[in-house]
Structure 1
């Protein structure tokens, strides 16, 4: 009886390890995809901002003024985001928890 209980506990620990590995690998894959998408989006945003700044500079006949205008727009957006930091943080945490719970729910549905 003791051997059976020991084997059961070892199997249960092994199952928990596998579940943890699966969860971590799923979260890491999501994080890596987000980083890749974010990087490409940032490159696009940088180049589009540069192009728009040059276009505005051409319009004002002053390249520095056009790029400064775009920089001021980003600074205003930065201040707005900074002032709403706690709300944004709570929203992101809520979405991450929902995503994790949806993944777990789908895993349970797949097993049944």
Structure 2
């Protein structure tokens, strides 16, 4: 499974609503998130898709949309499950369009799997 790692550039323009949204997604406290912004460390490091719940991916997409619409400088990366984030390494960059495409592709794939499963065993 892949995960999303999000960094927010240090600035005073991050509204409390964004920090609160990150807090709900990450499980971190508000002060911990503010320290991560100031310290140039990830504010969010979370699996994009869960086996049972795909709601986190939609919440991450909403967060990226908010960051982009408010012009808040950030970097979002896709890392593998076991890959540790290290400053200076090169990772696949994510934005709201790419994440939206990932979500759509996953939904289509799951629907195809359901159809194939039904065809194999219609009961």
Larger radius of gyration: 1
* TM-score tier (shorter): 0.3 to 0.5
Question: When the two structures are superposed, what TM-score results if normalisation uses the length of structure 2?
Answer: 0.31
- Higher normalized helix content (fraction of residues): 1
Structure with greater strand percent = 2
The structure with higher relative contact order (CA 8 Å, sep 6+) is 2
